[in-house]
């Protein structure tokens, strides 16, 4: 598995980060302050999660005065969507092996 995909999974495995990312997907560009207001955690905690999301390429930040605006980078999700294709390929190959095995087994 490529490292980028692994990092993406780890990043989104955290429910708080996933919730923040979802909000950015739904609401478009949002300030850290606005995200904090409804996140139920402190602003430093929100900022920390946003930094992790940014490292994974899932969000983009833009500084304007004292405010930092974040928006979701939907293109970064491509490897996640790839995952199902990979898993489907994985299982189809395993089914082939299973069928070979069944043909070799006694009743």
Is residue 80 near another protein by the rule CB under 8 A? yes
Residues 9-68 that bind another protein (CB under 8 A): 9-10, 12-13, 15-16, 18-19, 22, 25-26, 39-41
CA distance linking residue 69 with residue 49, whole number of Å:
14
Residue 19 CB contacts under 8 Å (≥ 6 apart), including other chains: 39
Nearer to another protein, 45 or 67 (CB): 45
| Residue 52 burial by Cβ neighbours in a 10 Å radius (0-12, 13-18, 19+) | middle
Contact 20, 12 (CB under 8 A): no
Note the residues at the interface with another protein (CB under 8 A): 1, 5-6, 9-10, 12-13, 15-16, 18-19, 22, 25-26, 39-41, 72, 74-75, 77-78, 80-81, 83-85, 87-88, 91-92, 94-95, 97-102, 105, 107
């Amino acid at each position: 598995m490529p490292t980028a995909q692994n990092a993406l999974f780890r990043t989104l495995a955290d429910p708080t980060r996933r919730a923040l990312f979802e909000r950015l997907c739904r609401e478009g560009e949002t300030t850290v302050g606005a995200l904090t207001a409804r996140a139920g955690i402190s602003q430093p905690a929100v900022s920390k999660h946003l930094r992790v999301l940014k490292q994974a390429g899932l969000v983009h930040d833009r500084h304007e005065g004292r405010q930092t605006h974040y928006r979701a980078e939907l293109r970064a999700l491509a490897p996640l969507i790839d995952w199902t294709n990979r898993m489907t390929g994985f299982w189809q190959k395993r089914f082939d092996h299973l069928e070979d095995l069944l043909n070799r087994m006694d009743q």
